[in-house]
C-alpha cells in the first residue's frame, strides 16, 4: 500500500487475483476466436458492415473522421426495420419467435414470431402514416415493457421517422422537456402500465406533458390495463382504432431507404444537474455496432439460444440489446414487463426456467438485490439452461460477480462484464467468452476494432497498475454523432480534456495483462490525505465481507485528511447491524485495501438511493454526509430512501472513528 502522497490521477489498491479461463468446449464453439483481435481495425469493420447488414445500396467508403464528428458506411442506403424483421421472414425464418413476452400479471404470455412482428409493424406503420408520420417526423414513445413498444420503434424506423423513447418511470416534466427539445410531433403511449401489481398512469402523465409540448399534435394510445383514461378529440387516437381496416401486407408499406448517416433516434441522458443531453445515433453505424457486439460478446447461436436482456427498453441497454442488436441477428429474446420481485423474489428464475433462457444480461444493482434476498430464490428453479451471463451499468464488485457466476450460473457459465455508455451506443470493453480469461470485477479488453486507453491529467498513457481517465482513441461505428442541437456542449463534455480523444468521464486502470478495471465516474473519486481513492474499490472491499450485500461510499470534508470516507452499507437478509459489525467492516476494508481506505463512518441502511436505471447516486450521499440540503432528487427511483438514510445518519446508527 502506498504511504506517500501519490502522483496518480487515481490510486488503485484493491487486488483481485482470481481468474477464469474459458472452457475448451465453450472456446471450440465460440463465435469469436482468438484471432479476431489480429484483424486490422478497418478490415474488421468493413467486413462487419458488409456481412452483418443488408444494404439497398452498398457503402462506398468505410468512414470519415473530422474530429469530433465521424461518419460511417458512407454512400450506403439501408433500412433498420428491413434488417431487423423483413429479411428474416424473406429468408424463411418467419415462424421463429422474435419475442417470448411475459406480462407482469400472472399467466399473461405471448409468443411473437418474426412473421407476427412483420405484420404488427406494417399495420402500425400504416396507422402512423394515416396521421401524417413519414420520413423525418420526430416521434416520442412513452410506454412500458409491452411487445407494442418494439413494434412502435420498428414502425418508426420502417417509415424513416426518428424516435425518442422516454422511460415509463419519468415525470411529465422529463417527458415534455425531451419532446420539446426534439420537436416531436407525435407521441405514442398507453393507458397505464403494470408495475408491482399496481398501475402507472402513463396517459395521464403524457397529457400533462403534452400540455407543455404544444408541438405534439397527435398521440396514439395503446390499451394495456383497460382502465378509463381521458382522450382528447382530434388529438388522441386509440391504437386499435387507428389500425382498424389497415393492411398488414408488407408491400403496402415498403421499408424507406435511409442513408447511413440519417438520424435513427435520440436517447436522452440526464446529467446530475444540467438539462438532459439528446445523444444522437444514426442508422448504419449504430446498427452494425450493436449487431456485431451482440453476436460476438453474447456468442449468439441464432437457432439455439434463448436470450434475455433484463433491462428496460427505455434505456440505451434496451435499445441496443433488447431491440436492435438481437433482432438484427434474428435472435429469440425474452421480454418481461414487470419487476424481479413480483409476486415473489423468484420471478426472474421462474422465467429462466420456463423459457429455457441460455443467455442472461443484467446489471450489478439487480445482482446485488438478489444477493441481499439470498440464493434460496434461485435454488427453487432449474437454471441449468444458462450458458452465459452478462453485466452492465456499473462497476461490478468481485463478490457480486462471483455470486452471479456461482448461484445463477452454477459455477459453469462465463460472465461477461461489459463497459459502455449511452454515448458509445455499443459495448466497448468486454471479454469475448470463448477467448478471454476473465477476472471478477474486470471488463477486460477493448472489443475488436476499438481503441481504448487510460490517460493521466496531461494526456499521457498511464502504465500498468496506475489509475487514470478512460479514453477512446479512435472513432467507432455506433459512436454518438453529437448532442442534439448543442455542438458546443458536445465538444466541451467529451472532447475538451484531450485533443481528438474521447473522454468518457470514467476512471480506470489497466493491469499487467492489459485488462481494464473500471473505477466509476471521475466525479466520485475521493481524496483522502492526498490519495485519490475510487469509490468502487472501497465498496468492493465491503461487499467482500460475508454479511454485506451492497455498499455505497462517498467522502465528506475532514479537518485532518481533507476528505474522509463515509460508507452506507446494506446487510444481507439475516445479518444484524451492531457496533461490533462496524468495527469488523472497518477492519475488513483495512485488510483488503489498507488503513487509508477505512471508512470514517458507516451507516447501515436497508436501501441505497439509486437512479431509475439502478445507478447509485453518490452525489446525494455526499449531501447527506455533509449535512447539506439535498441537490436535485428528481431522478431518484425512490425518494423515501434518502430521508430514511438522513434520519439514520443523524440518529447515531453511524459511528465516528
Residue 549 CA to residue 558 CA, distance in Å, equals 28
Using the rule CB under 6 A, is 368 a contact of ligand WTA? no
> SS3 letters for 507-533?
EEEECCCCCEEEEEEHHHCEEECCEEE
Sole window of 290-298, 331-339, 501-509, 631-639 interacting with ligand WTA (rule: CB under 6 A):
501-509
Minimal distance in Å, beta carbon 315 to ligand WTA? Answer: 6
Query: Based on CB atoms, which residue is closest to ligand WTA, 475 or 507?
Result: 507
Residue 39 CA to residue 274 CA, distance in Å, equals 41
Residue 251 burial (CB < 10 Å; 0-12/13-18/19+)? exposed
Residue from 219, 369, 421, 535 touching ligand WTA (CB under 6 A): that is: 421
Query: Based on CB atoms, which residue is closest to ligand WTA, 147 or 441?
Result: 441
Q: Order of strands across the sheet with 97-102?
A: 109-113, 97-102, 333-336, 307-309, 359-362, 388-391, 415-417
Rounded (5°) CA angle 243-245-248: 70
Residue 151 CA to residue 430 CA, distance in Å, equals 30
Sole window of 33-41, 56-64, 198-206, 413-421 interacting with ligand WTA (rule: CB under 6 A):
413-421
Minimal distance in Å, beta carbon 506 to ligand WTA? Answer: 5
Sole window of 13-21, 61-69, 418-426, 623-631 interacting with ligand WTA (rule: CB under 6 A):
418-426
Using the rule CB under 6 A, is 150 a contact of ligand WTA? no
Q: How far is CA 236 from CA 111, 146, 165, 180, 210, in A?
A: 29, 20, 18, 18, 11
Using the rule CB under 6 A, is 438 a contact of ligand WTA? no
Minimal distance in Å, beta carbon 159 to ligand WTA? Answer: 27
Using the rule CB under 6 A, is 635 a contact of ligand WTA? no
Query: Based on CB atoms, which residue is closest to ligand WTA, 54 or 437?
Result: 437
- The string of DSSP codes covering 406-431 is IIITTTTS-EEE-B--TTT-S--B--
Q: At what angle do helices 172-182 and 202-211 cross, to 10 degrees?
A: 50
Using the rule CB under 6 A, is 204 a contact of ligand WTA? no
Sole window of 87-95, 248-256, 380-388, 389-397 interacting with ligand WTA (rule: CB under 6 A):
389-397
Q: Which segments of 53-86 does DSSP mark as H helices, in order?
A: 80-81
Minimal distance in Å, beta carbon 267 to ligand WTA? Answer: 8
Beta-carbon contacts of residue 395 (< 8 Å; ≥ 6 apart): 364, 441, 518, 519, 520, 536, 540
Using the rule CB under 6 A, is 527 a contact of ligand WTA? no
For ligand WTA, the binding residues in 594-633 under the rule CB under 6 A are: 613
Q: How far is CA 82 from CA 7, 122, 263, in A?
A: 53, 11, 16
Using the rule CB under 6 A, is 436 a contact of ligand WTA? no
Cβ–Cβ contacts within 10 Å for residue 488, how many?
Answer: 8
Contact characters 439-468, ligand WTA, x per CB under 6 A: ----x-------------------------
Phi-psi region of 464 (alpha: psi -120 to 50; beta: other; left: phi over 0): beta
Cis ω before 300 (30° cut-off from 0): no
Minimal distance in Å, beta carbon 562 to ligand WTA? Answer: 24
Query: Based on CB atoms, which residue is closest to ligand WTA, 190 or 442?
Result: 442
Sole window of 201-209, 476-484, 502-510, 574-582 interacting with ligand WTA (rule: CB under 6 A):
502-510
Sole window of 31-39, 140-148, 411-419, 552-560 interacting with ligand WTA (rule: CB under 6 A):
411-419
Which residue spans within 169-213 are E strands per DSSP?
Answer: 186-190, 193-195, 198-200
Using the rule CB under 6 A, is 534 a contact of ligand WTA? no
Minimal distance in Å, beta carbon 19 to ligand WTA? Answer: 18
Beta-carbon contacts of residue 146 (< 8 Å; ≥ 6 apart): 101, 103, 190, 193, 222, 224, 337
Minimal distance in Å, beta carbon 81 to ligand WTA? Answer: 24
Chain-centre distance for alpha carbon 570: 23
Residue 270 CA to residue 24 CA, distance in Å, equals 43
How big is the chain, counted in residues? 657
Cα end-to-end distance, the chain, whole Å? 21
Query: Based on CB atoms, which residue is closest to ligand WTA, 521 or 618?
Result: 521
Using the rule CB under 6 A, is 422 a contact of ligand WTA? yes
Query: Based on CB atoms, which residue is closest to ligand WTA, 316 or 585?
Result: 316
Using the rule CB under 6 A, is 418 a contact of ligand WTA? yes
Contact characters 310-349, ligand WTA, x per CB under 6 A: -----xxx--------------------------------
Cβ–Cβ contacts within 10 Å for residue 4, how many?
Answer: 7
Query: Based on CB atoms, which residue is closest to ligand WTA, 523 or 587?
Result: 523
Residue from 155, 264, 352, 392 touching ligand WTA (CB under 6 A): that is: 392
Sole window of 285-293, 334-342, 388-396, 578-586 interacting with ligand WTA (rule: CB under 6 A):
388-396
Beta-carbon contacts of residue 214 (< 8 Å; ≥ 6 apart): none
Residue from 518, 571, 585, 620 touching ligand WTA (CB under 6 A): that is: 518
> SS3 letters for 228-250?
CCCCCCCCEEEHHHHCCCCCCCH
Residue from 319, 345, 521, 622 touching ligand WTA (CB under 6 A): that is: 521
Query: Based on CB atoms, which residue is closest to ligand WTA, 392 or 554?
Result: 392
How many residues contact ligand WTA, by CB under 6 A? Answer: 21
Query: Based on CB atoms, which residue is closest to ligand WTA, 256 or 394?
Result: 394
Minimal distance in Å, beta carbon 421 to ligand WTA? Answer: 4
Using the rule CB under 6 A, is 394 a contact of ligand WTA? yes
Minimal distance in Å, beta carbon 616 to ligand WTA? Answer: 11
Using the rule CB under 6 A, is 12 a contact of ligand WTA? no
Using the rule CB under 6 A, is 393 a contact of ligand WTA? yes
Minimal distance in Å, beta carbon 276 to ligand WTA? Answer: 11
Are 429 and 444 within 8 A, CB to CB?
A: yes
Using the rule CB under 6 A, is 361 a contact of ligand WTA? no
Residue 574 burial (CB < 10 Å; 0-12/13-18/19+)? exposed
Residue 255 CA to residue 577 CA, distance in Å, equals 60
Cis ω before 68 (30° cut-off from 0): yes
Q: Can you name the residues that pair with 455 across neighbouring β-strands?
A: 461, 469
Which three three-digit cell numbers place residue 559?
479537518
Minimal distance in Å, beta carbon 601 to ligand WTA? Answer: 25
Residue from 11, 207, 305, 417 touching ligand WTA (CB under 6 A): that is: 417
Query: Based on CB atoms, which residue is closest to ligand WTA, 141 or 522?
Result: 522
Residue from 324, 401, 419, 476 touching ligand WTA (CB under 6 A): that is: 419
Give residues in contact with ligand WTA (CB under 6 A). 269, 315-317, 392-395, 417-422, 443, 504-506, 518, 521, 613
Amino acid at each position: 500500500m502506498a504511504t506517500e502522497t501519490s502522483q496518480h490521477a487515481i490510486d488503485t489498491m484493491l487486488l483481485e487475483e482470481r481468474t477464469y479461463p474459458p472452457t475448451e468446449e465453450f472456446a471450440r464453439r465460440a463465435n469469436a476466436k482468438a484471432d479476431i483481435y489480429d484483424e486490422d481495425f478497418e478490415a474488421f469493420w468493413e467486413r462487419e458492415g458488409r456481412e452483418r447488414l443488408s444494404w439497398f445500396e452498398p457503402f462506398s467508403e468505410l468512414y470519415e473522421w473530422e474530429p469530433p464528428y465521424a461518419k460511417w458506411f458512407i454512400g450506403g442506403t439501408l433500412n433498420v426495420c428491413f434488417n431487423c424483421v423483413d429479411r428474416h421472414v424473406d429468408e424463411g425464418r418467419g415462424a421463429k419467435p422474435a419475442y417470448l413476452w411475459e406480462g407482469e400479471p400472472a399467466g399473461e404470455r405471448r409468443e411473437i414470431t418474426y412473421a407476427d412482428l412483420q405484420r404488427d409493424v406494417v399495420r402500425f406503420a400504416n396507422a402512423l402514416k394515416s396521421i401524417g408520420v413519414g420520413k423525418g417526423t420526430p416521434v416520442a414513445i412513452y410506454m412500458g415493457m409491452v411487445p407494442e413498444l418494439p413494434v412502435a420503434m420498428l414502425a418508426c424506423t420502417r417509415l424513416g421517422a426518428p424516435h425518442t423513447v422516454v422511460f415509463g418511470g419519468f415525470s411529465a416534466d422529463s417527458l415534455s422537456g425531451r419532446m420539446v427539445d426534439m420537436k416531436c410531433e407525435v407521441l405514442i403511449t398507453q393507458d397505464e402500465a403494470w408495475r408491482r401489481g399496481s398501475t402507472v398512469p402513463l396517459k395521464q402523465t403524457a397529457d400533462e406533458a403534452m400540455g407543455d409540448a404544444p408541438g405534439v399534435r397527435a398521440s396514439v394510445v395503446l390499451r394495456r390495463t383497460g382502465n378509463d383514461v381521458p382522450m382528447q378529440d382530434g388529438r388522441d387516437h386509440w391504437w386499435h382504432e387507428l389500425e382498424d381496416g389497415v393492411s398488414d401486407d408488407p408491400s403496402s408499406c415498403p421499408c424507406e431507404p435511409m442513408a447511413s448517416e440519417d438520424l435513427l433516434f435520440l436517447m436522452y441522458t440526464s446529467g446530475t444537474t444540467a438539462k438532459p443531453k439528446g445523444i444522437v445515433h444514426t442508422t448504419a453505424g449504430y446498427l452494425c455496432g450493436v449487431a456485431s457486439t451482440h453476436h460476438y460478446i453474447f456468442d449468439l447461436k441464432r437457432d439455439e439460444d434463448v436470450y434475455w436482456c433484463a433491462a428496460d427498453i427505455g434505456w440505451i441497454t434496451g435499445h441496443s440489446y433488447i431491440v436492435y442488436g438481437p433482432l438484427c441477428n434474428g435472435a429469440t429474446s425474452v421480454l418481461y414487463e414487470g419487476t424481479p420481485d413480483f409476486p415473489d423474489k423468484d420471478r426472474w428464475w421462474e422465467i429462466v426456467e420456463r423459457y429455457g433462457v441460455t443467455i442472461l444480461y443484467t446489471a450489478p444493482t439487480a445482482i446485488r438485490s438478489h444477493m441481499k434476498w439470498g440464493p434460496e430464490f434461485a435454488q427453487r428453479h432449474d437454471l441449468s439452461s444458462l450458458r452465459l451471463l452478462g453485466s452492465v451499468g456499473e462497476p461490478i464488485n468481485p463478490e457480486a460477480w462471483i455470486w452471479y457466476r456461482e448461484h445463477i450460473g452454477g459455477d459453469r457459465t462465463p460472465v461477461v462484464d461489459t463497459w459502455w455508455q449511452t454515448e458509445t451506443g455499443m459495448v466497448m470493453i468486454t471479454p469475448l467468452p470463448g477467448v478471454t480469461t476473465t477476472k471478477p470485477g474486470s471488463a477486460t479488453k477493448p472489443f475488436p476494432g476499438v481503441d481504448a486507453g487510460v490517460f493521466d491529467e496531461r494526456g499521457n498513457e498511464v502504465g500498468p497498475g496506475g489509475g487514470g481517465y478512460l479514453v477512446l482513441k479512435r472513432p467507432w461505428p455506433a459512436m454518438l454523432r453529437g448532442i442534439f442541437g448543442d455542438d458546443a456542449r458536445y465538444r466541451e463534455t467529451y472532447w475538451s480534456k484531450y485533443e481528438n480523444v474521447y473522454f468518457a468521464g470514467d476512471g480506470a486502470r489497466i493491469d499487467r495483462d492489459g485488462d481494464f478495471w473500471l473505477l466509476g465516474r471521475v466525479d466520485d473519486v475521493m481524496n483522502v490525505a492526498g490519495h485519490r481513492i475510487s469509490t468502487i474499490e472501497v465498496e468492493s472491499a465491503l461487499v467482500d465481507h460475508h454479511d454485506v450485500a451492497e455498499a455505497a461510499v462517498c467522502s465528506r470534508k475532514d479537518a485532518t485528511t481533507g476528505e474522509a470516507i463515509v460508507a452506507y452499507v446494506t446487510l444481507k437478509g439475516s445479518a444484524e447491524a451492531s457496533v461490533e459489525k462496524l468495527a469488523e467492516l472497518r477492519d475488513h476494508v483495512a485488510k483488503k485495501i489498507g488503513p487509508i481506505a477505512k471508512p470514517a463512518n458507516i451507516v447501515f441502511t436497508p436501501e441505497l438511493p439509486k437512479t431509475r436505471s439502478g445507478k447509485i447516486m453518490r452525489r446525494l450521499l455526499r449531501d447527506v454526509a455533509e449535512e447539506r440540503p439535498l441537490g436535485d432528487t428528481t431522478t431518484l427511483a425512490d425518494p423515501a430512501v434518502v430521508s430514511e438514510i438522513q434520519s439514520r445518519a443523524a440518529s447515531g446508527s453511524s459511528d465516528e472513528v
